Amino acid sequence: MTEKPKVGVYVCHCGINISATVDVETVADYALKLPNVEVARTYSYMCSDPGQVLIKNDIKEHGLNRVIVASCSPRMHEPTFRKAIQEAGLNPYYLEMANIREQCSWVHEDMEEATAKSKKLVAAAVAKVRLLEALESKEVDAEPAALVIGAGIAGIQAALDIADAGFKVFLVEKTPSVGGRMAQLDKTFPTLDCSACILTPKMVDCASHPNIELLSYSEVEEIGGYIGNFDVKVRKKARYVDFDKCTGCGDCAAECRVKDRFPSEFDQGMGKRSAIYLPFPQAVPAKYTIDPESCLYLTKGKCGKNPKCQEVCKAEAINFDQEDEIVEFKVGAVIVATGFDPFDASRKPEYGYADYPNVITGMEMERLVSASGPTGGKVTVFNGEEEIEPKEIAFIKCVGSRDASVGNEYCSRVCCMYVAKQAHLIRDKIPDANIRVYYIDVRAFGKGFEEFYDRVRRENVRYIRGNPSEIFKRGNKLVVKVEDTLTATPLEDEVDLVVLGVGLEPRADMREIMDLLRLSQSPDKFFLEAHPKLRPVDTATEGVFLAGCCQGPKDIPDTVAQAKGAASSAMIPLARGKVMISAQVAEVNEATCRGCGFCVNICPYTAVELVTINRFGHEVEVARVNEALCKGCGSCSAGCLSDSIQPKSFRDYQILPQIAALGVLK
Amino acid sequence: MSANYEPNIVAFLCNWCSYAGADLAGTSRVHYPANIQVIRVMCSGRVNPLYVMNALQQGADGVLISGCHPGDCHYMEGNFYARRRMGMLKDLMEFVGVDPKRFHMSWVSASEGHKWKEVVEKTVEDAREAGPFEGFRRRQIDW
């Protein structure tokens, strides 16, 4: 630091976002009196092109070597202004931002107070910026491969896009087959495309694509490293079936001693499966899996004389000695596409989902109307006495959505339309059925949605505005107790079947992925994106992207669009082949380090190690930082006994003057 | 204590959770007292306990440290270090006679704009009750 700091302070009006509450001219005048400040200006939009030009010209004309922008959060525009001053020939790390919008003008009402606070924030920024150091970002190679977690439609689409662009993709799916929730659906709204018909070709593609390594029935165990260089460990769970030998003929399932005894996950528990099973006929890969929790041999150690499946399998694929396998690989980017859980309707006990067999959820209805479902597409229900074809059918919307009593204030975005679609499908199958839909609002916002909703109403489906309070049994009928709020009429509606339009919830097991990748949740508990408007597929963790319903409820077109967005974002580091790693890492002053090793123990990334150096003829141990591993958190520094290890840009001598400026200036 | 005494609070916020949460409070136009000034650090684990003492010595009446929720740290375990260090510091401060109301630690996630407002209000209110802090002023030494 030989040259004298020459600071330029730029106070942004941000239209009136800042200037309505903060007297920006006063702040600039005040800044001009602070030590080392050469120039202080205000401008309506500092981030705009003329605003940036203003800064660049001043750097050249006044020979500025430090810049302060007092505007929005550094989380918003720090990269913008770093780039701007770099273009004017300054080191990009000679920038400090004073956050006078998000943390001042937007949260305070009194102009005097907000202006005084802005002055202090600018003074603290000046105190720090004078002591900032020039840093060089380093480039490291990026592994030209991606990891996609979850193989529903989002994961499949993202994997296909990345693989088609020529990069290797590891597609990890927890269940035995790819396809996810979309595979369970019968038709898709509003076009009534057969869900399986449009999905299965993609499922087959992703299994046969030369660039995709499909790891089904597998779970990600560990992810280390950073953007460009993630180290991934995946557990391939034992299927007890030799993957290469199994031909998918199904003889084993047909002969299983506990054949068709267990609720099929794919059929929402309405159909049955054997202990050895294929989740559904079009499953990819078409390989059988033995469920270790239901197989007689694996639970009791005995299955007749010999396990039947083993006897009948001509390919000799059954292998009870198979063990979980750990696969390790490296990728440059990660896409999280873990999907959602349907709302558990038993959490609304007033609707009797747990008590009455003829109260079912939308997902169960989906399987009931599906030609590949447990009834072959025939809509029948058990009303407690007998199996009947329902004639009086009620749908209830917003079950588990827009409902603070269950903690879900959000709209699930798909229920309005899937209810309309199911009403249409039932009208097709049972033309004389009396169908009504109880709703709070109808949200038919997407392309072709309103038209479809209109069509369904014309098909004699009655929409009744009211949120049912209770469902109870009367004889062999169900009674829906509700008030028609448009006519203020209390109703007791007797029906044969109630379909609950359940909403979408974050997956119960999302915590595992959060911990693996350091992701956050938004207030609705879905994964939090980096910016709700401008970075909707990014996360706070660089190189990790979101696709599909794990980020929030969405329909299939939106999911596919987001998956394509995540794929293209993930391909940026892969295509460049290089990634910038942060220059804000820790550094050791080897002259004062006493080699105690506290920092080595503190560092969560094993980025610090002790090395032996020669200090004036003596062999001594000192700490040394591996810059590729260090993420610059600074935990080591706060634990250092001699203040020898310091994160760059957040050194003691850079933070203490900030504290002094904020403290002294009352 | 004068009636119009306004406490001066210095806050250390981690970049990933609490600073983002405070930004969200701004974006959501949640209003809170202007007594608080934020210093951004990458992780609450960066905050040296001496910063707290230094802030009080330099003229702050209260100090707030806020990080990610335990278990949610962007750097895996930085907030655990912060929690231990600050727990110890708090005991020490009580021991030397500093009102513990001057010192707060909280967990505010990136989506908790409203919680940030509550934390600030509580911190300011407590510091107001504790009154202006004169404890660590440097003594004037006449030679």
User: Measured between CA atoms, how close is A234 to chain B, in angstroms?
Assistant: 20
Is the pLDDT reported for residue B141 higher than 60? no
pLDDT in tens, A66-98: 999 999 999 999 999 999 999 999 999 999 999
pLDDT in tens, A607-658: 999 999 998 899 999 999 998 889 999 999 999 999 999 999 999 999 999 9
Q: For chain A, give the mean pLDDT.
A: 95
Tell me the CB-side half-sphere exposure of residue A29, using CA atoms within 13 A: 7
Is the pLDDT reported for residue B3 higher than 90? no
Are B81 and A639 within 8 A, CB to CB?
Answer: yes
B104 contacts B64 by C-beta, under 8 angstroms: yes
Q: What is the mean pLDDT of residues A576-587?
A: 92
Please give the Cα distance from A534 to A519 (Å, whole number).
18
- Token pair for residue A572? 């940026």
Are A520 and B45 within 8 A, CB to CB?
Answer: no
Is the pLDDT reported for residue A111 higher than 90? yes
The rounded percent of chain A whose pLDDT value lies above 70 is 99
DSSP letter for each residue of A360-428? EEHHHHHHHH-TTSTTTT---EE-SSSEE--SEEEEEEEESSSBGGGTB-S--SSHHHHHHHHHHHHHH
Single-letter amino acid, residue A332? G
Are A660 and B42 within 8 A, CB to CB?
Answer: no
Q: Which residues pair with B23 in a beta bridge?
A: none
Query: Cβ neighbours of residue A285 under 8 Å, at least 6 residues apart?
Result: A177, A207, A214, A216, A243
Nearest 5°: the CA angle A44, A66, B64 is: 80
Is the pLDDT reported for residue A664 higher than 80? no
Of B59, B81, B109, the CB nearest to A663: B59
User: Measured between CA atoms, how close is B95 to chain A, in angstroms?
Assistant: 22
**Contacts with B29 from chain A: Cβ below 8 Å:** 106-107
Is the pLDDT reported for residue A327 higher than 70? yes
- What confidence tier does A440 reach under pLDDT thresholds 50, 70, 90? very high
Q: Which residues pair with A609 in a beta bridge?
A: A624
CB contact B47 to A (< 8 Å)? yes
Q: What is the mean pLDDT of residues A126-151?
A: 95
Q: What is the mean pLDDT of residues A277-303?
A: 95
* Per-residue confidence (pLDDT) for residue A210, from 0 to 100: 97
Start-to-end Cα distance in chain A: 30
Please give the Cα distance from A635 to B49 (Å, whole number).
12
- What confidence tier does A256 reach under pLDDT thresholds 50, 70, 90? very high
- Integer angstrom CA distances of residue A368 from A380, A419, A452: 8, 14, 22
Of A102, A660, A662, the CB nearest to B27: A102
**Contacts with B45 from chain A: Cβ below 8 Å:** 633-635, 638
What are the percentages of helix, strand and coil residues in chain A, rounded to 5?
30, 25, 45
- Token pair for residue A324? 């979980």
Are A658 and B31 within 8 A, CB to CB?
Answer: no
**Contacts with B112 from chain A: Cβ below 8 Å:** 523
Residue among A207, A202, A411, A371 at smallest CA distance from A280: A371
A158 contacts A564 by C-beta, under 8 angstroms: yes
* Per-residue confidence (pLDDT) for residue B2, from 0 to 100: 53
Q: What is the mean pLDDT of residues A244-254?
A: 95
Residue among B92, B66, B94, B86 at smallest CA distance from A639: B86
- What confidence tier does A99 reach under pLDDT thresholds 50, 70, 90? very high
Are A102 and B23 within 8 A, CB to CB?
Answer: yes
Instruction: Find the closest chain B residue to A73 by CA distance.
Output: B23
- Token pair for residue A183? 């595979």
The DSSP secondary-structure symbol of A528 reads P
Query: Cβ neighbours of residue A119 under 8 Å, at least 6 residues apart?
Result: A26, A27, A30, A31, A665
Residue A571 CB neighbours (<10 A)? 20
* Per-residue confidence (pLDDT) for residue A235, from 0 to 100: 98
* Per-residue confidence (pLDDT) for residue A581, from 0 to 100: 85
Give residue A23's region: left, alpha or beta (phi > 0; psi -120 to 50): beta
**Contacts with B31 from chain A: Cβ below 8 Å:** 107-109
User: Measured between CA atoms, how close is A85 to chain B, in angstroms?
Assistant: 21
Instruction: List helix spans (H) across A171-283.
Output: 195-208, 251-255
Query: Cβ neighbours of residue A16 under 8 Å, at least 6 residues apart?
Result: none
- What confidence tier does A428 reach under pLDDT thresholds 50, 70, 90? very high
- Token pair for residue A507? 């997956």
What are the percentages of helix, strand and coil residues in chain B, rounded to 5?
45, 15, 40
What distance lies between CA A505 and its chain's CA centroid? 13
Is the pLDDT reported for residue A1 higher than 60? no
Tell me the CB-side half-sphere exposure of residue A453, using CA atoms within 13 A: 19
- Looking at per-residue confidence, does A541 or A471 come out higher? A471
Query: Cβ neighbours of residue A203 under 8 Å, at least 6 residues apart?
Result: A156, A177, A178, A179, A183, A282, A284
**Contacts with B66 from chain A: Cβ below 8 Å:** none
Are A631 and B75 within 8 A, CB to CB?
Answer: yes
Of A528, A605, A639, the CB nearest to B111: A528
Tokens 């606070």 belong to A117
* Per-residue confidence (pLDDT) for residue A584, from 0 to 100: 93
The rounded percent of chain A whose pLDDT value lies above 90 is 93
Which one of B46, B83, B115 makes the best mutation probe of the A interface by having the most chain A beta carbons within 10 Å? Answer: B46
**Contacts with B135 from chain A: Cβ below 8 Å:** none
- Token pair for residue A647? 């994160």
Instruction: Find the closest chain A residue to B31 by CA distance.
Output: A107
Residue ranges of B 79-118 with Cβ closer than 8 A to chain A: 81-82, 85, 109-112, 117
Which one of A68, A605, A659 makes the best mutation probe of the B interface by having the most chain B beta carbons within 10 Å? Answer: A659
Instruction: List helix spans (H) across chain B.
Output: 18-27, 49-58, 78-95, 113-130
**Contacts with B105 from chain A: Cβ below 8 Å:** none
Statement: the pTM of the whole predicted model exceeds 0.90: no
A101 contacts A121 by C-beta, under 8 angstroms: no
pLDDT in tens, B13-58: 999 999 999 999 999 999 999 999 999 999 999 999 999 999 998 8
**Contacts with A520 from chain B: Cβ below 8 Å:** 16-17, 68, 72, 109-111
Give residue A475's region: left, alpha or beta (phi > 0; psi -120 to 50): left
Q: Which residues pair with A471 in a beta bridge?
A: A480
The DSSP secondary-structure symbol of A262 reads E
CB burial string A79-112: b at 16+ within 10 A, e below:
eebbebbeebebbbbbbbbbbbbbbbbbbbeeee
- Token pair for residue A448? 């072709």
Of B27, B45, B85, the CB nearest to A633: B45
Are A102 and B85 within 8 A, CB to CB?
Answer: no
**Contacts with B74 from chain A: Cβ below 8 Å:** 518, 540-541, 633
Please give the Cα distance from A318 to A302 (Å, whole number).
15
Nearest 5°: the CA angle A617, A621, A626 is: 125
Instruction: List helix spans (H) across A130-224.
Output: 153-164, 195-208
Is the pLDDT reported for residue A204 higher than 60? yes
Of A121, A638, A650, the CB nearest to B81: A638
* Per-residue confidence (pLDDT) for residue A582, from 0 to 100: 84
Are A633 and B75 within 8 A, CB to CB?
Answer: yes
**Contacts with A108 from chain B: Cβ below 8 Å:** 31-34
User: Measured between CA atoms, how close is A398 to chain B, in angstroms?
Assistant: 24
A133 contacts A587 by C-beta, under 8 angstroms: no
Is the pLDDT reported for residue B143 higher than 60? no
* Per-residue confidence (pLDDT) for residue A666, from 0 to 100: 52
Are A103 and B42 within 8 A, CB to CB?
Answer: no
A593 contacts A569 by C-beta, under 8 angstroms: no
* Per-residue confidence (pLDDT) for residue A532, from 0 to 100: 86
